[in-house]
Amino acid sequence: GAVVSQHPSWVICKSGTSVKIECRSLDFQATTMFWYRQFPKQSLMLMATSNEGSKATYEQGVEKDKFLINHASLTLSTLTVTSAHPEDSSFYICSARSARSVDTEAFFGQGTRLTVV
Amino acid sequence: AQSVTQLDSQVPVFEEAPVELRCNYSSSVSVYLFWYVQYPNQGLQLLLKYLSGSTLVKGINGFEAEFNKSQTSFHLRKPSVHISDTAEYFCAVSDHQAGTALIFGKGTTLSVSS
């Protein structure tokens, strides 16, 4: 199946700094990518939908100025957590889905464990 | 909008016993249904999906699920589990629009012991 690569797999940063997470679709063009956040022992909460070449669509309650999403090409989307605080510590997972209607499966990155100290 | 309810947050079971993980969904439009498995600190791996056609779907690792439209359910089953099946299982739904997000249930922790 298709591969989505997410980097880094884990990161520790100091409070107040920014962290960038990359999500790449390695063998297909992902017009749309999705960013999820997962708290311990909980489900994946959709944060935003990222469309190539346009602004991301954020879910209600997600601060767009804090979680900056850029989808500059058909194979790369980035999530930048700005001015990170300990409450931003979480597991972040990206997902990519082909724009072709026959490709209904969503492929997931391996996730990024962010710890803000 | 769609939503997913996974009725059991934890399911403990002994090795080689059968297991069923329950999933119900809500949607005003036709949906695709998925089951994913997640191992600790890893991403999600697709177990199986229902798109159309036969309501009994077979997936990887011996899992299967049955789509029941009248009961809006998509329960996951395995006739005989292994220790290695211990993981978090997520049911997910999406509409038929290309490129839309999957909406996930809260997950079920399957714990298999010997």
Cβ-based interface (< 8 Å): residues of A facing B? 1, 4, 6, 31-32, 34, 36, 41-44, 46, 49, 91, 93, 95, 97-101, 103-106, 108-111, 113
Contact state of B102 with A105 under an 8 Å Cβ cutoff? no
* Mean pLDDT, rounded, for A62-66: 95
DSSP class per residue in chain B: --EEEES-SEEEEETT--EEE-EEEE-SS-EEEEEEEE-TT--EEEEEEE-SS-SEEE-GGG-EEEEETTTTEEEEEESS--GGG-EEEEEEEEESSTTPPPEE---EEEEEE-
DSSP A28: S
- What is the count of residue pairs from A and B with beta carbons less than 8 Å apart? 62
**Greater model confidence, A11 or B28:** A11
A9 token code pair: 């797999």
Is the omega angle on the peptide bond into residue A8 within 30 degrees of 0, that is, cis? yes
Closest CA to B6 of B82, B63, B88, B66: B88
Name the pLDDT band for A43 (thresholds 50, 70, 90): confident
Q: Is the pLDDT of residue A107 over 70?
A: yes
Find all residues with CB under 8 Å of A54, minimum gap 6, and list them: A71
**pLDDT band of A54, cuts 50, 70, 90:** confident
Q: How many helices (H) and strands (E) does chain A have?
A: 0, 11
Confidence of residue A99 (pLDDT cuts 50, 70, 90): low
The per-residue pLDDT for A42 is: 81
Q: For the CA atoms of B93, A89, A110, B75, what is the dihedral angle to 10 degrees?
A: -30
Higher pLDDT, B76 or A39: B76
Checking if the pLDDT of A105 tops 90, the result is: no
Compute CA A96 distance to the chain's CA centroid, rounded to the nearest angstrom.
10
Would you call B44 an interface residue with chain A, using a CB distance cutoff of 8 Å?
yes
**8 Å CB contact of B101 and A98:** no
Residues of A in contact with B43 (CB under 8 A): 4, 6, 93, 108-111
Residue A102 has pLDDT above 70, yes or no: no
Residue in chain B nearest A45 by alpha carbon: B104
B99–A31 C-beta distance less than 8 A: yes
User: How close A93 gets to chain B, by Cα (Å)?
Assistant: 7
Phi-psi region of A9 (alpha: psi -120 to 50; beta: other; left: phi over 0): alpha
Which residues, 6+ apart, have CB-to-CB distance to A89 below 8 Å?
A114, A115, A116
| Residue A40, pLDDT score | 80
In this complex, the residue of A31, A32, A108 whose CB is nearest that of residue B43 is: A108
Nearest to B106 by CA among B1, B2, B8: B8
Report the gap between the CA of B3 and the closest CA in chain A (Å).
12
Between these two residues, A20 and A2, which has the higher pLDDT value? A20
* pLDDT tens sequence for chain B (114 residues): 889 999 999 999 999 999 999 999 999 888 899 999 998 878 889 999 998 889 999 999 999 999 999 999 999 999 999 999 999 999 999 988 767 889 999 999 999 999
